[in-house]
Structure 1
Amino acid sequence: MTTALLLARAAFMQTLRSRSVIGYSLAWAGLIAATTLFSGDAMNATLTIVSFQLLIVPLVTLMLVSLQHYNNREFTELLLAQPIRRSAYYWGQWFGVSVALSFMHAIPIVGGYAIWQKYNVLLLCSSGIVLTLTFSSLAYRIAVGQPDKARGIGIALLVWLYCAMIYDAVIVVVMALLQDYPLENILLVLLALNPIDAIRVAVLLQTDTAALMGVTGAYLRAFFGTDKSLFAIAAVVTVWIGYPLVRGQRIFRIRDF
């Protein structure tokens, strides 16, 4: 077994044993149970859970991944003093932590579906995993690039605030200021600047709820259709996952511990 896989397995097991991660999974299970029991039908349950998912998963992932990286600093220094390639450690840690968080997020969804069978389990699992991978890569980029723990956590919170709240305000301002001009191309570009909005539109395209897609989603579907829109969103999300990781690896490779 390669060094990266061994490190990934160790990170996976460490994350699974974390009380914070276990608490996150239990809280998510309780939220799913409450939503499922009080929702009228499968569509309402799915959309309600997705709404919570788009807010909770990015925040929790950013915090847990960032904190784990900062709390493991001494362990990282010890390992890097050994004949271990930095790239192997970097990718092994990210993969192990991301898979563990995705696993702990998916378990309540699958378990709730096995009991109630009242929502789209594949859609919820896939969107949750993509959100976890996206924001774990952003968290690693932030933590690697910012040695100070307080500043790193602050930047992570600002990233979440931008994606979850500030971005929507920017969309409203742009539409108000440029209401006399064609906004299609501008809104499509803005969609690529927020992974939460891109994933939200992808989920709603799958559920065919056009009224809830928002302006950017409606324009995207009108211009490209459902299949091409999903392909474009997949490309955007891939960049959001890949670029921070590649950039973070370059910083990690030359960083002085």
Structure 2
Amino acid sequence: MKIKDKKKCVIIISIVIILIGLLGFTLRNEISEILSIESTQSTQYVDNPRTLKEWQEVNQNVVMVLEFNSNGILHNIPVLEVENGDKYMKRNPWGNYDTMGSVFMEKEISPFIGSNNWLINGHSSFNKDWNFTFLKNYSNKDYFNKHSIYQVEMEDGFHSFKIVSFAEYDYDLGEEQLYLGWYHNNFSIKEGISMFKETLPYTLVLNAGVEYQGQQIMTLITCNMKKKDSRYVLMAIELN
């Protein structure tokens, strides 16, 4: 390529980046996603089941594998326990740069061993079935009731979890007005019951038939791509 042509390409790319930066949050992310179709490996989480051992061969920090059956589509998602969550926001289990990052829990905030509330973070997409995008379906009551149980593979075998609630939290409200008690990693039975009650004002769909009696809690957190500072939060408890 001639030097002049290279300069033209640099100028065009620079203009595109500036224009994207000037766009609103929603449109900017949609364009970024379209331009980054090949920049994620999270397509391998869909209808491509792997065992925990197989995922640990990819990354030794994988501590569990989530398995959701979403209307016949199997989501097989490895969960990493990591020291630095910021790193894995844009780094996948293979160690590569990835716009969808990894699904992970931070050791300091929610240790796999010693926490009775696993706080698991994962990105969502606007229109691609990547990472935690499918969780948004739980805002539909019929879907929620049909898919209220999912499986988790750990070192000691498979565990079943039943979904208690699917909620939305708008961080724009500020900490004084927004309840974030669900973001703790350990609860007594009394505290757990109180916590689930406190989440009710934010709950979009609720499984009223589930009672907390000290079971392991799993909290899945993902972004609402239509609102910059909004998070969807799915809470589930282990079935004994």
TM-score, normalised to structure 2, is 0.31
Q: Which has the higher contact order (CA 8 A, sep 6+)?
A: 1
TM-score, normalised to structure 1, is 0.29
More helix by share: 1
